[in-house]
Amino acid sequence: MSHRARSRAVVAAFGVALLALTACGVEEAPTTTVAPSGSSLDCSLANLPLRTAGTLTIGTDSPAYPPYFEDDDPTNGKGFESAVAYALAQNLGFTKEQVKWVVVPFNSSYAPGTKNFDFDINQISTLPERREAVDFSDGYYAVQQAVIAVNGTPGTAATGIADLKGLKLGAQVGTTSLKYITDTVQPSSSPSVYDDTNAAVQALQNGNIDGVVVDLPTAFYLTAAVMDDGKVVGAFPAGQGSEEFGLLFEKGSALVPCVNNALALLESQGTLAQITEQYLGGEAGVPTLS
């Protein structure tokens, strides 16, 4: 404990030094930083409890898939989550150069102990069970699940959830898509589970399974860019307790309120809606499975 307190003190000292430096330097801070709401919350850059002082360390898995990232490179600011991350960083007062990315495999993101990132952005659904191990920000995207299938196979004929029951369905491990299969569809044969969506698509094209359940943006990406003859069969109704992606923090992280402020600002500015439209737009015209 004392060790941690000491390292906190070191971080704080660094912060003060940094503040002094920036005060002397050229004024180039972004105009729209998060205003401290109330007296208790100070979200100025120097006060943020960061992993590395003056740097926002963001984690995501590798490979980073479209449409959330582009070219497997989170630093380019392209792709939905990369864009959201940089917009958030800007609202918190960071420049683009002050953002550092680290690779965080999904399965290690919830390991106990100190984390090597300030937050992790990796299409992680904010399930209540998960909150016992980590903290989440408010949601930044309300996600819908969808089914894809190969054109001309029985899967594409489905119009309702009941039509999916007799099919062999697959999903990626660790995703809420798998939970949708077991809880909502309840198919007669047990689902197939894959390490990533690429393996699921391979099994789909081999005819091992009739359909793959993924989140809707991924469904569009897979059918448009990966598969030759893929089709989005339909989206599951949003329904009860709609699912949201949130940023993942170490349990008890003091950074969460400030990031939530920045996120709220992003929403009120209209930036979040604009980024969503830019990267995940064009989802209209998908039938909802009744």
Partner 1 sequence: MISAGASIPPSPAVGVAPQPYVDPVRADALRQRGRRNGMLATASTVVVFAVLALILVSSPGWSAVRETFFNGADFRASAPDILRAFLLNIKIFLIAEPCILVLALIIALMRGLRGPVFLPLRIAAAVWTDVFRGIPTILLMFLFGFGIPALRISGLTNSVLVWGTVALICSYSAYVAEVYRAGIDSVHPSQQAAARSLGLSGAQTMRFVVLPQAVRRVVPPLINDFISLQKDTALIAVLGPIEALRAAQIYASFNFNYTSYVVAALLFIALTIPLARFTDRLLARDRQRQLAGGAG
Alpha helix positions (H), the chain = 2-24, 80-92, 161-164, 176-179, 197-206, 216-221, 256-269, 271-280
What is the x/- site pattern for partner 1, positions 213-252, by CB under 8 A?
----------------------------------------
What is the x/- site pattern for partner 1, positions 104-133, by CB under 8 A?
--xx--xxxx-------------x-xx-xx
Record the tokens describing residue 220, joined without a space: 């569009």
Check residue 189 for interaction with partner 1 (CB under 8 A).
no
Phi first, then psi: what are they for 213, rounded to 5°? -100, 125
Consecutive H or E run containing 250: strand 243-250
Residue 283 CA to residue 200 CA, distance in Å, equals: 22
Touching partner 1, residues 1-40 (CB under 8 A):
1
Contacts (Cβ under 8 Å, ≥6 apart) of 157: 163
Q: Find the shortest distance in angstroms from Cβ 173 to partner 1.
A: 6
CA dihedral 76, 81, 87, 92 (to 10 degrees): -110
Contact region with partner 1 (CB under 8 A), list: 9-17, 52-60, 189-197, 215-223: 189-197
Q: Find the shortest distance in angstroms from Cβ 216 to partner 1.
A: 20
Check residue 206 for interaction with partner 1 (CB under 8 A).
yes
Contact residues: partner 1, CB under 8 A: 1, 106-107, 110-113, 127, 129-130, 132-134, 170, 173-174, 178-179, 190-195, 199-200, 202-203, 205-209
